[in-house]
């Protein structure tokens, strides 16, 4: 990884330029937002496969005799229920139940690998190390020496089999293992952030470009395309996957964010448990709600939401035209009374209230291989 003028660059920066990617700032990184176009890349992932550079994400290793009890204290999910060779989603919360970050925990047998959001890496590592007091555990930030790629889409399994073998490509949903991919040692996981089947691959930073080239070469005839942050956002949006800083923040809790399923109150004590137990018992006042624009207008993040009497009741967290569904959709927090399917409210688009109607989430049903 490198730093240029305050913006960090992944090992694939030169590859992105050679592919005529449009580069933008994202979370302190200079990243590709698109290559051939967001809609074109979006459709490639839904119909064939896409390859994403996600080396900006943070990777943290947790190891030592107390690794499991430490993680049980740190996150909301029951880490004891993640056996070696498996991974799962989890939340790291403040004592008041606010979400510090969402993350993925990979059990590699001899240690745990945790992937955190790029913009939160420094904050998260500091929090983890502060919480490690009293535990015989080592928390190591390995982000600098780790490259990460996401191979996503219905053709991902066949493409991975070409460069890694059928056994590695046959991983179960949320499975994780070590292996050789195109001659390079790698950690391979059947995880992703697109609502499609696919894999995330971890390699040494110096091997990232070679793996990127090998995957693009292998997938050329199958319709594999390099994809940027724009398609990554539209894909996760259709599947209603939370984006930190939008659907979830330190000011939101798991229950109002529809993430109560990842809170295991009966596993024992953990940071935020008392607050979350109280929130669950008392109920939330607002809830993340998906909606379709009934009137003409596109909902965008931070647009105001009003009730039908004109009173402000919330804000849009994410919104855009759905490339797959052909509808103008959005997500935002509204009072519980207006979160049920069919409820109507207004989104203020350029100072004009535009009618919206609550719809079922997710907008697009994920096609994970289970």
CA dihedral 131, 83, 81, 185 (to 10 degrees): 50
What topology is assigned to 285-370 in CATH?
Elongation Factor Tu (Ef-tu); domain 3 (2.40.30)
How far CA 139 is from CA of 64, 72, 74, 120, 126, in Å, comes to: 9, 14, 12, 16, 10
pLDDT of the residue at 1? 59
- Say which residues have a Cβ less than 8 Å from residue 126's Cβ, sequence separation at least 6: none
How far CA 333 is from CA of 7, 12, 272, in Å, comes to: 32, 37, 22
Look over the chain and give the mean of its residue pLDDT values, rounded to a whole number: 97
Residue 10, helix vs strand vs coil: coil
**Mean local confidence (pLDDT), 250-267:** 98
Q: What is the pLDDT of residues 161-176, one digit of tens each?
A: 999 999 999 999 999 9
Residue 4 has pLDDT above 80, yes or no: no
- Specify which residues 6 forms β-bridges with: none
The token duo for 30 is: 């200079």
pLDDT of the residue at 23? 96
89: left (phi over 0), alpha (psi -120 to 50) or beta: beta
Q: C-alpha angle with apex 288: 126 to 98, nearest 5 degrees? A: 25
Q: What is the pLDDT of residues 352-365, one digit of tens each?
A: 999 999 999 999 99
Q: What is the pLDDT of residues 35-53, one digit of tens each?
A: 999 999 999 999 999 999 9
Alpha-carbon span 251 to 314, nearest angstrom: 13
- Say which residues have a Cβ less than 8 Å from residue 205's Cβ, sequence separation at least 6: 1, 11, 55, 144, 145, 146, 147
Q: What is the pLDDT of residues 49-75, one digit of tens each?
A: 999 999 999 999 999 999 999 999 999
What is the rounded end-to-end Cα distance, in angstroms, of the chain? 35
pLDDT of the residue at 6? 80
Q: What is the pLDDT of residues 210-241, one digit of tens each?
A: 999 999 999 988 899 999 999 999 999 999 99
pLDDT of the residue at 152? 98
- Say which residues have a Cβ less than 8 Å from residue 296's Cβ, sequence separation at least 6: 354
Residue 2 has pLDDT above 90, yes or no: no
pTM of the model: 0.96
Q: What is the pLDDT of residues 317-337, one digit of tens each?
A: 999 999 999 999 999 999 999
DSSP 136-158: --EEEE-GGGEEEEEEESTTHHH
DSSP assigned state of 268: -
Strands (E), 108-230: 112-116, 138-141, 146-152, 176-181, 184-189, 198-204, 224-227
Q: What is the CATH number of domain 1-283?
A: 3.30.1360.120
Task: Report the sign of the C-alpha dihedral through residues 56, 57, 61, 62, in that order.
Answer: positive
Share of the chain above pLDDT 70, in %: 99
Residue 158 has pLDDT above 70, yes or no: yes
Alpha-carbon span 302 to 220, nearest angstrom: 39
pLDDT of the residue at 151? 98
Alpha-carbon span 32 to 326, nearest angstrom: 25
**Mean local confidence (pLDDT), 283-299:** 97
The token duo for 294 is: 């009934």
User: What angle separates helix 156-164 from helix 208-219, to the nearest 10 degrees?
Assistant: 120
Among 14, 262, 8, which residue's Cα sits nearest to residue 118?
Answer: 8
**Mean local confidence (pLDDT), 264-292:** 98
Q: What is the pLDDT of residues 114-124, one digit of tens each?
A: 999 999 999 99
Alpha-carbon span 106 to 175, nearest angstrom: 9
pLDDT of the residue at 27? 86
Q: Where are the domains of the chain?
A: 1-283, 285-370
Residue 3 has pLDDT above 70, yes or no: no
Alpha-carbon span 267 to 259, nearest angstrom: 17
Tell me whether domains 1-283 and 285-370 share a fold.
no
Residue 5 has pLDDT above 70, yes or no: no
Q: Identify the band that residue 370 occupies on the pLDDT scale cut at 50, 70 and 90.
A: confident
The secondary structure of the chain in percent helix, strand, coil, rounded to multiples of 5, reads 30, 35, 35
């Amino acid at each position: 990884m490198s730093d240029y003028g305050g913006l960090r660059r992944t090992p694939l920066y030169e590859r992105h330029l050679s592919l005529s990617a449009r580069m933008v700032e994202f979370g302190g990184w200079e990243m590709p937002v698109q290559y051939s176009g967001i809609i074109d890349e979006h459709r490639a992932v839904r119909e064939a496969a896409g390859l994403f550079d996600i080396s900006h994400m943070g990777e943290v290793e947790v190891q030592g005799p107390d690794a499991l009890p430490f993680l049980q204290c740190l996150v909301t999910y029951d880490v004891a229920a993640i056996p070696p060779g498996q991974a799962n989603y989890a939340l790291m919360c403040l004592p008041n139940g606010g979400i510090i970050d969402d993350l993925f925990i990979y059990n590699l047998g001899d240690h745990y690998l945790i992937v955190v959001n790029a913009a939160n890496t420094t904050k998260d590592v500091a929090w983890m190390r502060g919480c490690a007091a009293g535990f015989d555990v080592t928390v190591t930030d390995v982000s600098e020496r780790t490259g990460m790629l996401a191979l996503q889409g219905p053709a991902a399994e066949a493409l991975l089999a070409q460069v890694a073998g059928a056994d590695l490509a046959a991983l179960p949903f949320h499975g994780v293992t070590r292996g050789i991919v195109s001659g390079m040692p790698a950690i391979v996981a059947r995880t992703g952030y697109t609502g499609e089947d696919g894999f995330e691959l971890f390699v040494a930073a110096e091997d990232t470009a070679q793996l990127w080239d090998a995957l693009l070469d292998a997938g050329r005839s199958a319709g594999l395309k390099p994809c940027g942050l724009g398609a990554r956002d539209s894909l996760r949006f259709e599947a209603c996957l939370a984006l930190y800083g939008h659907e979830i923040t330190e000011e939101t809790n798991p229950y109002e964010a529809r993430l109560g399923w990842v809170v295991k109150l009966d596993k024992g004590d953990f940071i935020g448990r008392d607050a979350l137990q109280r929130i669950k018992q008392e109920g939330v006042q607002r809830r993340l709600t998906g909606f379709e624009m009934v009137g003409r207008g596109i909902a965008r993040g931070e647009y105001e939401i009003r009730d039908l009497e004109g009173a402000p009741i919330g804000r849009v967290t994410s919104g855009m035209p759905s490339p797959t569904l052909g509808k103008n959709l959005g997500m935002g927090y509204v009072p519980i009374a207006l979160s049920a399917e069919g409820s109507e409210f207004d989104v203020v688009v350029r100072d004009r209230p535009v009618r919206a109607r609550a719809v079922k989430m997710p907008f697009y049903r994920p096609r994970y291989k289970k």
